[in-house]
Amino acid sequence: MKKILGISAFYHDSAAALSIGGKIVAAAQEERFTRTKHTADFPVNAIKYCLDYAGISLDELDAIVFYDKPILKFERLLETYYAFAPRGIRSFLKSMPVWLDEKLFLKKNIYTALKTVGPYNRKKLNLQFTEHHLSHAASAFYTSPFNSSAILTIDGVGEWCTASICMGDKQEIKMLKEMHFPHSVGLLYSAFTYYLGFKVNSGEYKLMGLAPFGNANDESTKRYETLIKKHLVDIKPDGSIWLDQSYFNYCTGLKMLDEKKWETLLGLPKRKPESNIEQSHCNLALAIQHVTEEIVLKMAAEAKRISGSDYLCLAGGVALNCVANGKLLESGLFKDIYIQPAAGDAGGAIGAALASSRMYFNETTLPVPGEDGMQGAFLGPAYADEEIEKMCRSTGAVFKKQDDYNTVAEFTSRQLAEGKIIGWFQGRMEFGPRALGNRSILAYAGIDDMQEKINAKIKYREGFRPFAPAVLSGDASKYFDLAVDSPYMLFVAPIQEIYRKPLPDNYTTLSVRDKLRVPRSEFQAITHVDFSARVQSVHQETNPQFYALIESVRNRTGHGILVNTSFNVRGESVVNTPLDAFRCFMHTEIDYLVINNYIFDKADQGGQSTINVLNEIKNEAGIQAKTHKPERSVFTIAIALVVLYFIFQKEWFFNLGLVLALIGISSDYLNRIIDLVWMKFAKILNFVMPKIILSTLFYFILFPISVLSRLFSKKDPMMLQNKHTSTFRENNKIFQKESFGKMW
């Protein structure tokens, strides 16, 4: 059985995943350890966790696989500047030093970073690279229950590819079609995320949550949708798209779009972050959501047409758009759909490991009927009682330990039924963006003001943000119009009519805040303003503890339906350790914290407990006063001056060097001054010189070649002008073993 480590890093959502014998046994995102959300850092902590879980070292791995090919990405970057020159000089000057210093020499940087994980023999290390969209496709197909299926991947951009249609058959994945940068569904959606005042690469789900507040019958919504499809994006019958780059800046600028052109086109100013949300913002969000759904449905139809498959696997960041997934499911195009729960870049680590297992090492692991290849996504660290009690001693936390889990479930269900909010921490941490019942904040869904209360007093986030319902798998269809299983919160479905409440006649004209306060259903906290919900169906096989808790709530209240939201506050990553959980508990209005069989009542925690927690944070962060120690740069300068004396035979070089050397030996004070001046001079030089060199390269080499090419060549490799044909490119590529060893 081959042991393969998959890595995603250096862009966003860094992660690591370990495959043994063709099955993922451990996976974690680096942000959960460093507490920096969406971190791009090399996943040192996630790798250590994966290796520790399996009890192996780096030298025992058969391969380490990076989730994309950096040289192909660099090629795309250069060709983009070449196509747009002389536009893009600011972006060129900012991105090139990073690429030349970090990403172009990625193999060397990975070798160096692995040294911080542990010792290893570099000669034995088998370092591989997969294509970005192959990582996405493999992450979905090889964890799905299908032996054969169509695979659709849609995201911002990988190397060149922004969307792909593949066919998976047993061990083989064949690329059928792919769409290339700069035409991208993910980047189109991110541009609207930015325009509506949210952060790109993390705020897209906020845009999706805002869309239901839009009025589909409002003339402005219809006008926005028409303008988007007429000026910004041309949608082909096969679902491929062409974006008019005169409206966008992501190719060569430092922003996603041209704000003035968008404001002129839409007649709506860009929303400033944290400013009030107006109905026009909601209508624009709904318009781009409708456009995205149309694109996804057409792409899926094309995947069905060219593959002939009744089954579909989805991955890539756009696959996390659960509203579009719900529309795709409703269309009936496929008999069954499987969506990778970590569909974004973090899941690329899983795909990279599994792609190498199947295609490089020819491991023939086929799905077992009824078995979940992602194991409920519970692939992260778990913590024993000893570690929980150690946390309690260090923080002064007061707790009560129960003897068995049934007692914990009964106590917790009683508190939930009484309207209490619970921090729920059990077993292995989830992998992916969703909390699925092991690192969750829970509440009973039948309490009318619970959504407002959790958003305001627990999550500290925008009031419009919806919450997902967690229900027993056998009860899902009782509450929602959903014909399939939804264990990963990846399908939105309408709540059944029987639980809905009539809306007032003026409902569509109400503000966002007022709409939230209108009673909509018996389960107000999980029913969005359009009567939809992002459903999680909970299975006893994958999460017996969470299942037992919901079952206990059902026995107590008559309805087994809970609010399930991630255990974190706005801007922070989901909690990982017991200490993370206790910090969050103490700094929010969560009533009870339950960690394994340990119950923490907020009323029992004294002031000293909070002080101890803050001290723990301070100690962990390593905040200590540091005294400046001179770097003795003066000796470096002195040696350089002596060398110049021998080259130019100028005596003053030698004399000045001798004086500086004596200063370095005799006076720390003067040495500090010289050191400070030298460092500032070096900083200025380091800032200016690369810009001079790169500007010269851009204007005197890249730009003239670009102009000549446009004058004498009829080719349009990035399809900037030709919008009349499909932007899908026929591929028919079967991925081979040989491609794994190359960075291109």
498, 644: one domain: no
- Domain holding 693, by residue range, is 633-712
Is pLDDT of 685 > 70?
A: no
Task: Supply the pLDDT for residue 193.
Answer: 97
Does residue 637 sit in the same domain as residue 537? no
* Domain closes at, from 621, 647, 680: 621
Whether the per-residue pLDDT at 277 is higher than 70: the answer is yes
Q: Is the pLDDT of residue 617 over 60?
A: no
In this model, does residue 102 exceed pLDDT 80?
A: no
Question: Could you tell me if 664 and 528 lie in one domain?
Answer: no
Q: Give the model's confidence band at 439: pLDDT under 50 very low, under 70 low, under 90 confident, else very high.
A: very high
Are 553 and 671 in the same domain? no
The verdict on 609 and 656 lying in the same domain is: no
Lowest mean pLDDT among 53-67, 559-573, 641-655: 641-655
Do 601 and 577 share a structural domain? yes
Q: How confident is the model at residue 714 (pLDDT cuts 50, 70, 90)?
A: low
One domain, residues 542 and 672: no
Q: What was the pLDDT predicted at 622?
A: 41
Higher pLDDT, 447 or 611: 447
- B/e letters for 528-561, b = 16+ CB within 10 Å, e = fewer, are bbbbbbbbbbbbeebbebbbbbbbbbbebeebbb
φ, ψ of residue 186 to 5 degrees: the values are -60, -45
What is the pLDDT averaged over residues 482-502? 95
On whether the CB atoms of residues 286 and 214 are closer than 8 A, the answer is yes
pLDDT surpasses 50 at 611: no
CB 351 within 8 A of CB 153: no
Residue 705 has pLDDT above 60, yes or no: yes
Name the least confident of 23-27, 564-568, 740-744: 740-744
pLDDT of residue 205 exceeding 50, the answer is yes
- For residue 488, is it within any domain? yes
CATH number at residue 398: 3.90.870.20
Q: Would you say residue 525 lies in a domain?
A: yes
Q: What is the pLDDT of residue 621?
A: 43
pTM tops 0.75: yes
Predicted pLDDT of residue 629? 44
Helix 703-712 crosses helix 70-84 at what angle (to 10 degrees)?
70
- In this prediction, residue 674 has a pLDDT band, given cuts at 50, 70 and 90, of confident
**pLDDT at residue 474 tops 80:** yes
Q: What is the pLDDT of residue 612?
A: 57
260-269 pLDDT per residue, tens: 999 999 999 9
pLDDT of 312-350, one tens digit each?
Answer: 999 999 999 999 999 999 999 999 999 999 999 999 999
The pLDDT assigned to 627 comes to 39
596/704 same-domain check: no
Q: Is residue 625 pLDDT above 50, yes or no?
A: no
Residue 697 lies in a domain: yes
Asked if residue 466 belongs to a domain, the reply is: yes
Task: Verify that 453 and 529 share a domain, yes or no.
Answer: yes
**240-249 mean pLDDT:** 95
| pLDDT at residue 359 tops 90 | yes
Q: Flag whether pLDDT at 24 surpasses 80.
A: yes
SS3 letters across 167-214 = EEECCEEEEEEEEECCCCHHHHHHHHHHHCCCCCCCCHHHHHHHHHHC
Residue 140 has a pLDDT of 97
What is the tally of structural domains in the chain? Answer: 2
- 373 belongs to a structural domain: no
Same domain, 408 and 536: yes
* Distance, CA of 701 to chain centre: 37
Residue 210's pLDDT band (cuts 50, 70, 90): very high
Given 601, 621, 641, which residue is the final one in a domain?
621
- Given 599, 621, 643, the domain boundary residue is 621
User: What does pLDDT average to over the chain?
Assistant: 89
Least confident of 51-65, 485-499, 707-721: 707-721
Q: Are residues 689 and 599 in the same domain?
A: no
Report CA torsion sign: 232, 236, 238, 241: negative
pLDDT at position 630: 43
Instruction: Work out the pLDDT band at 466, boundaries 50, 70, 90.
Output: confident
- Average the pLDDT over each of 51-55, 264-268, 598-602, 717-721 and give the range with the smallest value: 717-721
Question: Please, where are the H alpha helices in 495-632?
Answer: 512-517, 544-557, 578-586, 607-621
Q: Render pLDDT for 150-167 as a digit per residue (tens, 0 to 9).
A: 999 999 999 999 999 999
570 shares a domain with 506 = yes
For residue 185, being part of any structural domain is answered with no
Indicate the burial class of 261 (C-beta count within 10 angstroms; 0-12, 13-18, 19 or more). Answer: middle
Q: Is residue 268 part of a domain?
A: no
User: Does residue 34 form part of some domain?
Assistant: no
